[in-house]
């Protein structure tokens, strides 16, 4: 077995193990993310339900503000509509502030309304309900709905209990809805914790600004009574996922005396803790889950996936083993062909140089011979012979130019290969000087030319060819040539525009083909090499070139050069 094949098998084993772990980890992350999203949704449910409790009490206060007097029957009718769909609310109550001087009046009124033996009550040290002691002011449960199951709370003076008294005083003095800490409800014999929400009501139907004014104008409380277990079960009923556990503590200390709801699990695998503010009280929600949450994490799928991937890689290793020998043969053949191609390119370049040299020598001989014939004939030469000899010299010059063009085309793109900082405006000025273009020749180089880090020889050759063509082919008396540039993505777009005779659109592609010229006469001096060289240099640099022109409207050669 080849060494490479062994490496592939080893890599296959590692990749399969890595993918198996990645799948398992992705499942774990998705599992945790599902737990986090579920907890977030459940938290919103808890918070929205607590906010709803405040809104319900606010509605009850608004009912009192809209009435000069609310009877017991009116209270029952209105509160029934408020809690009809809120089964978790244990009771809604009206708790007036009653000074001792009016105690008998309130007790007598309640008896006349059918509450036989009604009186202000409190719980004795032994836990028995007894007549409330004399106080400066009482806060009795005067109205209550529903009555069924809550009779024991009717007449109970909230000021007789320290927790309730502290909460109602805070609410009265702050003018805000306030929740009590954990309490045991008077009307409940079981030990399930509950809590109260006090919402104060003042004369004038507004909350007075100062503490003294609030104490003076206070009328009573709208009171919400809640069993925490009943409320939480109502909130999470039908939406609790398997394995999800909720525990609520008052404040942040995990202590049995602070426990409001639930029981911590020992085999938890994830836990999120959220403190929430409940009308002045801090509840800490512990969301826990065990391995059963959402069906748990699959152990089989990662193993099956990893095994499948290893099997595929094993087959690939076998295929690789069979093809390795053939690949080596192909590699050797590619090396051989590459070397042959390199030799062929070198030979072709050498041939172009030798051919241009060997062809130029006889051309020079023909040119010299023509001059000698003219000299030998002297005055005896006829006009026809002189014309033919001049034409022969012109043909020789054209042939020499064509050969030189072939040599230049073969060398195009073979610059120094080195890049350096090029100030394009200075380069164009140097090109104009080499072409012997004077200042009054109509050439305008617009400001804003860029500074590039590029091959200066190639870019200079492009500008030289394009500017020379524009000047050479423009026979207008008022010649004009404009060189401009602008950014274009990762390139600069250079434009050389003239007011020459223009180019028919049907020749826009032809002029970039080697040996193609729009002046076919033998005496034109055009080789059809310049623009193909420009195109070759631009495209080798990764840019492009095009011409925009029509007959009689000048021409614009536009090329893109990398920044």
pLDDT at residue 178, as a whole number: 95
Distance, first Cα to last Cα, the chain: 51
Q: Average pLDDT for residues 454-458, to the nearest whole number?
A: 90
**What is d(CA 242, CA 194) in angstroms, rounded to the nearest whole number?**
26
| Mean pLDDT of the region 311-324 | 74
Which has the higher per-residue pLDDT, 12 or 447?
A: 447
Structure confidence at residue 241 (pLDDT): 65
Burial of 148 per CB tally in 10 Å (0-12, 13-18, 19+) = exposed
Distance CA 344, CA 323 (A): 31
Top pLDDT among 328 and 143 is at 143
pLDDT at 522: 47
Mean pLDDT throughout 343-371? 69
Q: What is the pLDDT of residue 236?
A: 77
Model confidence at 401, pLDDT cuts 50, 70, 90, reads low
| pLDDT for 348 | 61
pLDDT tops 60 at residue 77:
yes
- Closest residue by Cα to residue 94 from 108, 114, 79: 79
Whether the pLDDT of residue 364 is over 90: the answer is: no
If pLDDT is split at 50, 70 and 90, which confidence band does 365 have? confident
> For 174-200, what is each residue's pLDDT tens digit?
999 999 999 988 876 666 889 999 999
**Among the ranges 216-220, 229-233, 344-348, which has the highest mean pLDDT value?**
216-220
41 confidence band (pLDDT: 50, 70, 90): confident
Better-predicted residue by pLDDT, 167 or 3: 167
Query: Which residue reads 């070397």 in tokens?
Result: 339
Residue 317 has pLDDT above 80, yes or no: no
Token couple for 78 = 């209105």
The CA distances from residue 417 to 151, 237, 425, 510, in Å, are: 101, 76, 22, 29
Question: Both tokens of residue 25?
Answer: 């980890």
What is the model's pLDDT at position 351? 62
Query: Rounded to an integer, what distance in angstroms lies between the CA atom of residue 21 and that of residue 303?
Result: 9
In whole angstroms, give the CA distance from residue 77 to residue 75.
6
pTM above 0.85, yes or no: no
- Can you state the angle between helices 530-540 and 383-411, rounded to 10 degrees? 0
pLDDT of residue 232: 87
Q: What is the rounded radius of gyration, in angstroms, for the C-alpha atoms of the chain? A: 50
pLDDT category of residue 322 using cuts at 50, 70 and 90: confident
pLDDT over 80 at 4, yes or no: no
Mean pLDDT for all residues in the chain: 85
Is the separation of the CB atoms in 231 and 49 below 8 Å? yes
In this prediction, residue 519 carries a pLDDT of: 63
- List, for residues 527-540, the tens digit of each pLDDT value: 678 899 899 999 99
Is the CB of residue 298 less than 8 Å from the CB of residue 27?
Answer: yes
Average pLDDT estimate for 201-222: 93
pLDDT the model gives residue 389:
80
Q: Over 70: is that where the pLDDT of 510 sits?
A: yes
Q: What is the mean pLDDT of residues 349-360?
A: 63
Assess contact for 120 and 131: CB atoms under 8 A: yes
Q: For residues 63 and 446, what is the distance between their CA atoms, to the nearest angstrom? A: 82
Residues across the chain = 563
Alpha carbon 93 to its chain centroid, in Å, reads 52
Between the ranges 11-15, 43-47, 368-372, 442-446, where is the mean pLDDT highest? 442-446
Q: Measured between alpha carbons, how far is residue 349 from residues 197, 346, 530 in Å? A: 98, 5, 19
The encoded tokens of residue 279 equal: 């009308």
Stronger pLDDT, 479 or 529, i.e. the higher one: 479
CA–CA separation, 261 and 263 (whole Å): 7
Q: Mean pLDDT across the stretch 327-356?
A: 75
Judged against a pLDDT cut of 60, whether residue 542 lies above it is answered with yes
pLDDT band at 473 (very low <50, low <70, confident <90, very high): confident
For the chain, what percent of residues have pLDDT higher than 90? 45
Q: Which stretch of 88-92, 132-136, 238-242, 542-546 has the lowest confidence by average pLDDT?
A: 238-242
Q: Is the dihedral of CA 300, 303, 306, 308 positive or negative?
A: negative
pLDDT band at 131 (very low <50, low <70, confident <90, very high): very high
DSSP string, 167-234: HHHHHHHHTS-EE--SB--TT--S---EEEEEEEEEGGGS--SSHHHHHHHEEEEEEEEEEHHHHHHH
**Mean pLDDT on 479-493:** 95
Q: Is the pLDDT of residue 224 over 70?
A: yes
**Predicted local confidence at residue 474, as pLDDT:** 87
Cα 187 from chain centroid (whole Å): 56
Under DSSP, is residue 286 helix (H, G, I), strand (E, B) or coil?
strand
Assess whether pLDDT exceeds 80 at residue 352.
no
Q: How confident is the model at residue 521 (pLDDT cuts 50, 70, 90)?
A: very low
């Amino acid at each position: 077995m080849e060494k490479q094949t062994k490496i592939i098998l080893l890599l296959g084993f590692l990749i399969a193990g890595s993918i198996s772990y990645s799948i398992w980890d992705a499942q774990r992350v998705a599992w945790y993310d599902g737990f986090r999203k579920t907890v977030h949704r459940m938290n919103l449910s808890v918070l929205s339900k607590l906010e709803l409790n405040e809104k319900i009490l606010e509605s009850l206060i608004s009912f009192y503000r809209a009435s000069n007097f609310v009877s017991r029957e009116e209270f029952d009718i209105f509160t029934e509509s408020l809690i009809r769909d809120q089964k978790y609310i244990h009771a809604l109550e009206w708790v007036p502030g009653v000074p001792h001087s009016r105690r008998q009046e309130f007790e007598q009124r309640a008896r006349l309304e059918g509450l036989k033996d009604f009186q202000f009550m409190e719980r004795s040290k032994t836990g028995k309900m007894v007549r409330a002691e004399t106080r400066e002011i009482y806060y009795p449960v005067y109205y209550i709905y529903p009555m069924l199951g809550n009779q024991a709370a009717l007449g109970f003076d909230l000021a007789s209990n320290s927790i309730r008294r502290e909460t109602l005083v805070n609410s009265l003095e702050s003018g805000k809805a306030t929740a009590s800490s954990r309490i045991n409800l008077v009307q409940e014999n079981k030990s399930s914790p509950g809590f109260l929400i006090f919402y104060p009501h003042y004369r004038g139907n507004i909350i007075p600004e100062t503490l003294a004014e609030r104490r003076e104008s206070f009328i009573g409380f709208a009171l919400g009574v809640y069993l925490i277990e009943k409320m939480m079960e109502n909130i999470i009923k039908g939406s609790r996922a398997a394995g999800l556990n909720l525990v609520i503590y008052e404040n942040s200390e995990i202590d049995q005396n602070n426990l409001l709801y639930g029981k911590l699990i020992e085999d938890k695998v994830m836990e999120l803790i959220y403190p929430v503010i409940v009308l002045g009280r801090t509840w800490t929600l512990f969301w826990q889950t065990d391995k059963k949450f959402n069906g748990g994490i699959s152990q089989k799928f990662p193993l099956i996936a990893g095994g499948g991937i290893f099997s595929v890689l094993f087959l690939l290793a076998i295929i690789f083993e069979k093809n390795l020998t053939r690949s080596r043969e192909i590699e050797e053949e590619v090396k051989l062909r590459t070397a042959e191609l390199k030799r062929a390119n070198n030979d072709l370049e050498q041939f172009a140089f030798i051919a241009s040299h060997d062809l130029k020598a006889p051309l020079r001989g023909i040119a010299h011979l023509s001059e000698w014939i003219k000299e030998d004939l002297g005055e005896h030469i006829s006009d026809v012979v002189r014309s033919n000899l001049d034409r022969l010299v012109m043909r020789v010059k054209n042939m020499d130019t064509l050969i030189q063009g072939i040599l230049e085309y073969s060398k195009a793109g073979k610059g120094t290969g080195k890049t350096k900082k090029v100030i394009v405006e200075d380069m164009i000025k140097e090109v104009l000087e080499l072409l012997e273009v004077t200042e009054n020749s109509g050439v305008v180089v617009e400001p804003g030319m860029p500074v590039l880090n590029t091959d200066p020889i190639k870019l200079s050759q492009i500008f030289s060819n394009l500017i020379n063509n524009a000047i050479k082919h423009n026979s207008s008396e008022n010649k004009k040539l404009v060189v401009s540039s602008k950014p274009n993505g990762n390139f600069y777009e250079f434009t050389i525009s003239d007011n020459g005779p223009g180019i028919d659109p049907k020749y826009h592609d032809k002029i970039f083909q080697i040996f193609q010229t729009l002046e076919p006469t033998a005496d034109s001096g055009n080789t059809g090499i310049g623009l193909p060289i420009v195109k070759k240099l631009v495209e080798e640099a990764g840019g492009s070139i095009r011409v925009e022109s029509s007959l009689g409207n000048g021409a614009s050669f536009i090329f893109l050069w990398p920044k």
